[in-house]
Amino acid sequence: MRVVSGICKGRPLKAVPGTTTRPTTDKVKEAIFNMIGPYFEGGLAVDLFAGSGGLGIEALSRGIQTCIFVDREPKAISTIKNNLEACQLEEYSEVYRNDSERALKAIIKRELQFQLIFLDPPYKQQKMKALIHTVSENNLLSPNGFIVAEHGTDMELPREIGQFNILKFETYGDTAISIYGKKEGQKGE
User: Residue 24 has what pLDDT?
Assistant: 82
- Residues whose CB falls within 8 Å of the CB of residue 68, separated by 6 or more in sequence, listed in order: 44, 45, 46, 47, 56, 93, 94, 95, 96, 107
| Residue ranges of domains in the chain, CATH in brackets | 26-182 (3.40.50.150)
What is the separation of C-alpha 184 from the centre of its chain, rounded to a whole number of angstroms?
A: 23
Instruction: Say what the pLDDT of residue 2 is.
Output: 95
Tell me the CA end-to-end span of the chain in Å, nearest whole number. 38
Walking along the chain (189 residues) 10 residues at a time, the average pLDDT comes out as 96 88 84 95 96 97 98 96 98 96 95 96 74 95 96 90 96 94 74
pLDDT of residue 181: 97
| Global pTM value | 0.94
Closest by CA position to 120, among listed 34, 39, 58: 58
State the pairing for strand pair 175-182/164-172.
Answer: antiparallel
Residue 160 pairs in a beta bridge with 165
Angle at CA of residue 38, ends 145 and 158, nearest 5°: 45
Per-residue confidence (pLDDT) for residue 125, from 0 to 100: 54
